[in-house]
Amino acid sequence: MAAAAAPAVGGAARGRGATSFQRKAAAGSRLAAVAGTRPSVRHGQLLLSSGLPSLDCVLGGGVAVGTLLLIEEDKYGLYSNLLFKYFLAEGVVCGHDVFVASAKEHPDNILKELPAPLLDDTYRNELGEEATAVKSEEFQDSMKIAWRYQNLPKMEASPTSTKFGHYYDVSKTMPPELFQSIKWHSFYLPEELSSQPKMKTCNMNRAYARLLQSIQRIIYQEGFDGSDPQRKQKNILRIGVQSLGSVLWGDDICCSDTPEDIHSLTKFLYVLRGLLRKSLSACIITVPTHLIQNKAIMERVTNLSDTVVGLESFIGSERETNPLYKDYHGLAHVRQIPRLNSLICDVSDTKDLAFRLKRKLFTIERLHLPPDLSDTVSRASKQDLAESAKLLSSGCGAMAIGKKHLDF
């Protein structure tokens, strides 16, 4: 009887093991159920790509679902507009729902100008062309580079990351067939204000109140808040708001140091974060921070955002002709990274970042000082390099601070 009872006990043990294994598989499948996302190995939060793999690496793997990404616009809005379109284009390729809001350009025109995705073979060809160009440049530099720099280890320009997200060709627009498989919603402020009667907005800008109502309606009606348990196929809502806080939105924070409506933008961000936190959605907002004169308002805007990235363009500045930045078009500043399920944030080891727009690709790279070509660089250029090196906070520029020339 003991021998007969043993298989039963073993079968029960195997049954319990099989049950626990199924539960773990179900839990894992729930994390991977949403297309275009992956769980973070640091804090377990679902991540989605910003559309720029190099930016994902800097931000700790991507943009967390339920968070707000704030882009500080460059002076002319050229490169911040590219990041804005990258975020939306990634949503189209992944099959996410897209919500586009603007007060300047019609959302339909923004979607028509999204960059075209690069297929794997096409991207390999692009990388091959870039590698060939880099090798030719290295061969030319090897003929004139100082001997003392030749044996130094080469610095990796682009931040490394695993394959997540897609690459896009900024010289081409996305084919219209890709939009047929997704749901996209538009919010054009002039049309919204003309079609809706005036209403009380609880001490908030009328434009911001209308935008919040539209976002809230889509989240609840489309089931992004999880209120529909019968919905098996989960999806992500990507929200993009262009040039929030500008005069076109009826806000005066960019016009005066003491604006009349000083709290409308911060109230909007506070309510928006609440909507994002309880829904499967992520939002990107571009703000013309260089026009905001009141620094206290800008600090509150930063605190009410989760991730803040600033773009500083060289157009029209002295750095545009500085030999230190000849290979770049501007600097990228990571102002803030969220602390999700952790006491510390996932900070990248790369502090000095720059961006450049190549023929087809926009990339964020590690900024490093060029070598001192002692015989081929004039004394004035060396002084410019030394002064520019002081602008770098840490990392590659730390060795050059305080010295105009290194003697060996």
Average pLDDT, the chain: 78
CA distances (Å), 184 to each of 15, 124, 236, 350, 375, in order? 47, 31, 12, 36, 58
CB of 69 closer than 8 Å to CB of 335: no
pLDDT score at 211: 95
CB of 118 closer than 8 Å to CB of 166: yes
Inside any domain, residue 11 = no
Lowest mean pLDDT among 40-44, 145-149, 264-268: 145-149
pLDDT at 275 over 90: yes
pLDDT score at 332: 94
- C-alpha 322/C-alpha 281 separation (Å) is 42
pLDDT at 2 over 50: no
pLDDT score at 67: 95
pLDDT score at 364: 92
Lowest mean pLDDT among 134-143, 211-220, 293-302: 134-143
Task: Supply angle C-alpha 361, 366, 369, rounded to 5.
Answer: 120
Torsion angle, alpha carbons of 69, 81, 36, 170, to 10:
-150
- The predicted-structure confidence for 238-263, as pLDDT tens digits, reads as follows 999 999 999 999 888 888 888 888 88
pLDDT at 95 over 50: yes
Range of the domain at 332: 37-127+163-365
27 Cβ partners below 8 Å, 6+ apart? Answer: none
Average the pLDDT over 214-236 and give the result: 83
CB of 145 closer than 8 Å to CB of 137: no
Amino acid at position 262, single letter: I
pLDDT band at 184 (very low <50, low <70, confident <90, very high): very high
Give the residue, 36 or 5, on which the prediction is more confident. 36
Inside any domain, residue 6 = no
- The predicted-structure confidence for 316-343, as pLDDT tens digits, reads as follows 888 888 888 888 999 999 999 988 877 7
Inside any domain, residue 213 = yes
Average the pLDDT over 78-95 and give the result: 95
Residue 261 tokens read as: 């409506």
pLDDT score at 198: 64
pLDDT at 308 over 90: yes
pLDDT at 83 over 80: yes
Average the pLDDT over 156-176 and give the result: 77
Inside any domain, residue 370 = no
pLDDT at 216 over 90: yes
Q: Is the pTM of this model over 0.75?
A: yes
pLDDT score at 323: 83
**206-221 and 264-277 are packed helices; what angle lies between their axes, rounded to 10 degrees?**
10
Inside any domain, residue 378 = no
pLDDT score at 362: 93
Q: Please count the CA atoms within 13 angstroms of the CA of 218 that sit on its side-chain side.
A: 24
Residue 208's domain is classified under what CATH number? 3.40.50.300
- Look at residues 127, 137, 139 and name the one whose alpha carbon lies nearest to residue 359: 127
Give the residue, 26 or 81, on which the prediction is more confident. 81
pLDDT score at 162: 53
- The predicted-structure confidence for 348-399, as pLDDT tens digits, reads as follows 666 789 999 988 899 999 887 666 544 444 555 555 555 555 555 444 444 4
pLDDT band at 202 (very low <50, low <70, confident <90, very high): low
pLDDT at 281 over 70: yes
3-state secondary structure 106-141: CHHHHHHCCEEECCHHHHHHHHHHHHHHHHHHHHHH
Inside any domain, residue 110 = yes
Q: Which residues, listed in sequence order, are joined to residue 4 by a DSSP beta bridge?
A: none
pLDDT score at 399: 40
pLDDT band at 1 (very low <50, low <70, confident <90, very high): very low
63 Cβ partners below 8 Å, 6+ apart? Answer: 47, 48, 49, 50, 56, 69, 282, 284, 307
- C-alpha 41/C-alpha 43 separation (Å) is 6
Average the pLDDT over 277-283 and give the result: 94
Average the pLDDT over 197-219 and give the result: 84
Residue 303 tokens read as: 């605190």
Inside any domain, residue 87 = yes
Please state, for a pLDDT cut of 70, what percent of the chain lies above it. 66
Into how many domains does the chain fold? 1
pLDDT score at 226: 75
pLDDT score at 324: 81
Inside any domain, residue 383 = no
CB of 144 closer than 8 Å to CB of 375: no
Phi-psi group of 136: left, alpha or beta (phi > 0 → left; psi -120 to 50 → alpha; rest → beta) = alpha
Annotate 14-37 with b (16+ C-beta within 10 A) or e (fewer).
Answer: eeeeeeeeeeeeeeeeeeeebebb
